[in-house]
């Protein structure tokens, strides 16, 4: 079982990676993923690591929605 | 394999490992810091808790790819060469540890609470994520409360 990780540096890079690769899964806090990995219940894939993206850090209140900060930790 | 650099207990570390390797295993296997314990491995029991960039985290839930540049404190980082940390001293004096499995995570959660008292309603809530199957918790609470009252110094 092999899992790769891509570390994009911007949302644009993240979106490019998402559209370029078929078997890619966004990864934020990783809590559930870590449990599934330990249980060997995931097929090999590439994770798109979103945690270090500065654009996802702030909480932005909108008129009809809130974009939450990507949780720093698990 | 992914190369990451981070700090553990004030010491710079650089290593290469599988990108989804658990921080828990990185600490125990790659750095031989076996003070951090694995309990459930599912983020439920708190045994593997460490402090990362000032926040309490469960090291079984943190993949290697998310620790680049982080600063991590484990139980090994609390005592200095000759002196126990006040929490370690208090747990020892009050019988706050029995089998020891929960103790490192419990002490780091207690440390986090003492440093961030506003983040929990009280000590019981602060330690609610850490399971102990020996002590019945009373001696643990007693230990942490004593440190909160500055009754224990490093020794």
Same domain, yes or no: B18 and B38: yes
The residue among B76, B105, B121 that closes a domain is B76
- How does pLDDT run across B2-61, given as a tens digit for each residue? 999 999 999 999 999 999 999 999 999 999 999 999 999 999 999 999 999 999 999 999
Question: What number is the average pLDDT over the span A14-29?
Answer: 94
How many residues in total does chain A contain? 74
Amino acid B136: pLDDT:
87
Residue of B nearest to A44 (CA): B20
Rounded (10°) angle between helices B86-94 and B103-115: 130
Same domain, yes or no: B70 and B103: no
User: What b-and-e string marks burial along B13-40, b requiring 16 or more CB atoms within 10 Å of the CB?
Assistant: beeebbbbbbbbbbbbeebebebbbbbe
pTM of the model: 0.91
Structural domain count of chain B: 2
Question: What number is the average pLDDT over the span B145-154?
Answer: 90
Tell me which residue range forms the domain holding B130: 86-148
Q: Is residue B154 part of a domain?
A: no
Same domain, yes or no: B69 and B112: no
Q: In chain B, what residues touch A3 (CB-CB under 8 Å)?
A: 18-20
Amino acid A68: pLDDT:
58
Q: How confident is residue B108, by pLDDT bands cut at 50, 70 and 90?
A: very high
Same domain, yes or no: B9 and B70: yes
B93, containing H or E segment: helix B86-94
Distance from CA of B151 to the nearest CA of A (A): 33
- How does pLDDT run across B61-84, given as a tens digit for each residue? 999 999 999 999 999 999 988 899
Amino acid B120: pLDDT:
95
Q: How far is CA B51 from CA A17, A23, B98, in A?
A: 32, 33, 23
């Amino acid at each position: 079982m092999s899992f790769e990780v891509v570390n994009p540096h911007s949302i644009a890079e993240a979106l490019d990676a998402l559209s370029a690769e078929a078997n890619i899964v966004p990864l934020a806090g990783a809590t559930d993923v870590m449990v599934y990995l330990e249980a060997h219940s995931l097929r090999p894939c590439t994770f798109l690591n979103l945690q270090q993206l500065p654009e996802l850090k702030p909480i932005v209140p909108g008129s009809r929605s809130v974009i939450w900060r990507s949780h720093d930790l698990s | 394999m992914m190369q990451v650099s981070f700090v553990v207990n004030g010491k710079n570390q650089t290593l290469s490992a599988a990108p989804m390797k658990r921080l828990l295993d990185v600490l125990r296997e790659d750095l031989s810091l076996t003070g951090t314990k694995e309990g459930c491995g599912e983020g439920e029991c708190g045994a593997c808790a460490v402090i990362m960039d000032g926040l309490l985290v469960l090291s079984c839930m943190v993949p290697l790819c998310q620790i680049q540049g982080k600063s991590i404190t484990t139980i090994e980082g609390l005592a200095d060469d000759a002196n126990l940390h006040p929490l370690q001293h208090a747990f020892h004096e009050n019988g706050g540890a029995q089998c020891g499995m929960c103790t490192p995570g419990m002490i780091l959660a207690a440390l986090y609470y003492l440093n961030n008292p506003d983040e929990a309603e009280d000590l019981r809530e602060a330690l609610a994520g850490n399971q102990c199957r020996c002590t019945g918790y009373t001696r643990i609470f007693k230990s942490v409360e004593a440190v909160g009252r500055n009754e224990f110094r490093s020794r």
